[in-house]
Amino acid sequence: MHTIVSFFTIISLAACTAQLPLPSTLVHQFPTGTYVENLRARQNGQLLVTLVAPSPNVYLIDPVLSPISPTSNFTATLVHSFPSAGLLGITEVQPDQFYVAAGNFSLATLDLGAGTWGVWSLDLRSYDPISNTGAVVKEVAPLPSVAFLNGMDTLDVAANLIVVADSVKGQIVMVDVETGDSRVLVSDAVLAPPAGASGLGINGLKVLKRGDTIYLYFSTQATALFGRIPVSICASHTVGPVEILSNGTVMDDFVLDEERGVAFMSGFTNTLLSMPLDGGELTTLLGGLNETVVAGPTSATLGRGLLDKDSVYVTTNGGLLAPINGTYIEGGKVLSVDISGYC
Ligand SMILES: *[C@@H]1O[C@H](CO)[C@@H](O)[C@H](O)[C@H]1NC(C)=O
Ligand SMILES: *[C@@H]1O[C@H](CO)[C@@H](O)[C@H](O)[C@H]1NC(C)=O
Ligand SMILES: *[C@@H]1O[C@H](CO)[C@@H](O)[C@H](O)[C@H]1NC(C)=O
Ligand SMILES: *[C@@H]1O[C@H](CO)[C@@H](O)[C@H](O)[C@H]1NC(C)=O
Ligand SMILES: *[C@@H]1O[C@H](CO)[C@@H](O)[C@H](O)[C@H]1NC(C)=O
C-alpha cells in the first residue's frame, strides 16, 4: 500500500514540474496589423475571436483544422462585422448565446470612444458554419455612461447576468442581457488608472464561484495589479475588501482553471503566466520580453472540444502596442499551449 501511494506521489510531483517553456502550436495567424483582443470556445470546441483592429470583427476558428494551414484566410471565418470601431470582451451565457463589448475605440487615434459602448448579442443557435449563415446580432444594452468597456464574463446564467469592466472609470458593471438593465456592481479606486495618469485601470475580468462567494478576478494595466473581489451569491454587493494577489507585473486578460487551481494570464512582456487561484508564485510558462512566440498576448481561454481539454488558447496583438525589441510587429494570432502535465 505504502509503495503504491509513493508511486502516485512521484507521478503527480513529476506531472507538476512540467518542462518549461510549455509546448505551443500556432492555430491561426491573421495579417500584420490585426489586433486579436479576446476569445471564447463554443461548446463544440470551435473558437470565437474578437478583433480591435483593423475591423470590429468576430471570427470563427476551428482549433483542430486551422493549424493545418494557420496563415490561410480559409481557416478563419468572418462571422460578423459590427457597426462600431472595436470589439473587446466576449462571453457566453446560454449555450451558443454570446455577448461582446463593442464601441468606437480607435487604435489609430487612441480615441477611447467614451459614450459609444454597448453590449451586443451574437446568437449562434441557428448558425451554420459551412454556409456561414444564421448568426443573429443585436445590441442588447447600450451603455452611454461607460468610458471604455474591456474584459467581460458571465456572472449568473440563470439570471442572465454578465459583468463587464470599465477600464477608465474603474468600475465593474453588471448587465442583464435579457432586459438590457445595467448597474455599477463595484466602483473602487484600485480598479481605476492612477489620478492624472493615462493608461487603463481594470482590464481583464473573470468570475469564479466558490461556495457562497463569487470572486471577481481582475487585472489592471497602469497599476500592474492582479487581484479579486468577493461578492455575495445574489451578486448585489461586495462582501469583502479587494484582495491583491500580484503587484508589479502587467497582465492583460486571463482564464481561471478551476480543475488545475490556477489562472493562466497574458503577460505584457510577451509571456503566458500562471498563478495559483488563491495567490502565490507567478510562473512564466512560455515566451519572454524579446521573444515572438507570444507577441503581445491579450487573453486566454481553455479548450472545450473533445481533443483539447489540455489546451489553453492565447490571443495576441502581434506587438502592435509594444513592438518586440522596439521594432518587430507580426499579425495577431491564436496560439494553442499544451498544459497536459501542468498543474
Ligand atoms: C484571402 O487571401 C487572398 C490572397 O492570399 C486574397 O486574394 C483574398 O482576397 C483573401 N480573402 C479574404 C476573404 O480576405
Ligand atoms: C461609431 O462610429 C460609426 C462610424 O463613424 C457611427 O456610424 C456610429 O454611430 C458610432 N457609434 C456610436 C454608438 O456612436
Ligand atoms: C503596489 O506596489 C506599489 C509599489 O510598491 C505600491 O506603491 C502600491 O501601493 C501597491 N498597490 C497596492 C494596491 O497594494
Ligand atoms: C531581440 O533582441 C534579442 C537580443 O537582444 C535577440 O536575441 C532577439 O532575437 C530579438 N528578437 C527579435 C524579434 O528581433
Ligand atoms: C531584450 O533585448 C534588449 C535589447 O534589445 C536587452 O537589453 C535586454 O537585456 C533583453 N532582455 C531579455 C530578457 O532578454
Q: What is the pLDDT of residue 20?
A: 94
pLDDT digits (tens, 9 = 90+) for 230-245: 998 776 788 899 999 9
Mutate to test the pocket of ligand 3, among 229, 243, 247 (most ligand atoms within 8 A of CB): 247
Enumerate domains of the chain plus CATH numbers.
3-338 (2.120.10.30)
Of 233, 238, 277, which is closest to residue 255 (Cα–Cα)?
277
The residues pairing with 180 across neighbouring beta strands, listed in sequence order, are none
Task: State yes or no: cis peptide before 21, omega within 30 of 0.
Answer: yes
Closest CA to 60 of 82, 43, 76, 84: 76
What does 35-94 look like in DSSP terms, one character per residue? EEEEEEE-TTS-EEEEEEESS-EEEEE-TTTGGGSTT-GGGSEEEEE-SSSEEEEEEESS
Which pLDDT score, from 0 to 100, does residue 233 have? 73
Ligand 2 centroid to Cα of residue 253, in Å, is 26
pLDDT of residue 212: 81
Instruction: For the chain, list residues with pLDDT below 50.
Output: 1-15
Residue 242 in contact with ligand 3 by CB distance below 6 A: no
Ligand 5 centroid from CA 13, angstroms: 33
User: Which atom of ligand 5 is least distant from the CA of 289?
Assistant: 13
Question: Closest ligand 5 atom, CA of 326?
Answer: 5
Q: Does the Cβ of 290 fall within 6 Å of ligand 5?
A: yes
Residue 293 corresponds to which cell in the numbers above?
512566440
Distance 74 CA to ligand 1 centre (A): 8
Around ligand 4, the residues with Cβ closer than 6 Å are 290, 292, 324-325, 328
**Exposed, middle or buried: residue 2 (CB in 10 Å: 0-12, 13-18, 19+)?**
exposed
Ligand nearest to the CA of 102: 2
Whose cell is 500556432? That residue is 26
Which residues, at least 6 apart from 339, have a Cβ–Cβ distance to it below 8 Å? 18, 22, 257, 260, 264, 310, 311, 312
Q: Which candidate, 196, 321, 197, places its Cα nearest to that of 266? A: 321
Q: Is this prediction's pTM over 0.95?
A: no
Q: Give the atom of ligand 4 at the shortest distance from the alpha carbon of 328.
A: 13
Residue 11 confidence (pLDDT): 44
pLDDT tens for residues 28-64? 999 999 999 999 999 999 999 999 999 999 999 999 9
Local structure of 14: helix, strand or coil: helix
- What pLDDT sits at residue 37? 98
> In this structure, what C-alpha cell is assigned to residue 207?
468570475
> To test the ligand 5 pocket, which listed residue (290, 294, 327, 328) has its Cβ within 8 A of the most ligand atoms?
290
Task: Give the position, in ligand 2's atom list, of the atom nearest the Cα of 84.
Answer: 1
Q: How far apart are CA 38 and CA 28, in angstroms?
A: 14
